[in-house]
Amino acid sequence: MSHQPLAGAVALVTGASSGIGAATARRLAREGASVALVARRRDRLDQVAVDIAKLGGHAAVLATDITEPAHAEEAVEDTLNRFGRLDILVNNAGIMLLDSALHTTIEKWDRMVSLNVSALLHITHAAVPHLIYAASTSPRQVADLVNVSSTAGRVARPGSSVYNLTKFGLNGFTESLRQELIAENVRVSAVEPGSVDTELVHRLSHDTRAAALRQIDEMHPLRPDDVADAIGYIITRDRWVAVNHMVVRPSDETW
């Protein structure tokens, strides 16, 4: 059997029902981690859990809405009850609803802030004490918190003002948290994917979706597995190596 650098570690992945989250959960399981799968769609989570079992790994399905603070706390507690510890948190859950300020609705803006920001804060706040404990007790001597941001956290474009707001803010939050947790041996990182072929694009309004798909058709978009590989690379570094910020774009993306 090949060496598994995350053997004995426990990871919690949000937005694990599809796309980058599902790919990341499978990647971490291949590296030896037990994985708590958090999202709202139980049927999709069940399938990811089956995939992980076929790899010889272990997964727990936690179908819940972490935009509710109590549910986020319960997700962390359920992970601890199932696996006994928490070494890795991957904050991947998010939504992208693009449109101009003139044509969008306040409900769409609120949905993005609720999932992209509030839910991430809820789960992070609940997880941090346990990540600190894991770093002090783990053979790895380190814990990891990875936030999935976006190139929209560095490049603002028309029609994505509030999505930009959530991702620019996430990058600032990540850097501040990184500095806070250095002394606790908890590494904090942000991954910024460019265009990825995921369900996010297909949830846009008709006209916006058509424009986004035309952009994707003009390039070779990333696969979710490409981003999962970046996340896996960050987490599996030796404890004295911190990859705190990684931008992963399609090679032919110009922005």
Host H or E run for residue 82: helix 69-83
250 neighbors 222 (Cβ within 8 angstroms): yes
β-sheet with 59-63: strand ranges across: 59-63, 34-39, 10-14, 88-91, 143-148, 186-193, 245-248
User: 48: which 2 tokens?
Assistant: 């990811």
49 neighbors 61 (Cβ within 8 angstroms): yes
Q: What is the spatial distance between Cα 254 and Cα 145, in angstroms, rounded to a whole number?
A: 29
**Residue of 204, 26, 20 whose CA lies nearest to 98:** 204
User: 37: which 2 tokens?
Assistant: 């799968």
Q: Is 233 a catalytic residue?
A: no
Of 163, 171, 208, 231, the catalytic one is 163
User: 86: which 2 tokens?
Assistant: 């928490």
231 neighbors 27 (Cβ within 8 angstroms): yes
Q: What is the spatial distance between Cα 54 and Cα 248, in angstroms, rounded to a whole number?
A: 29
Catalytic machinery residues: 163
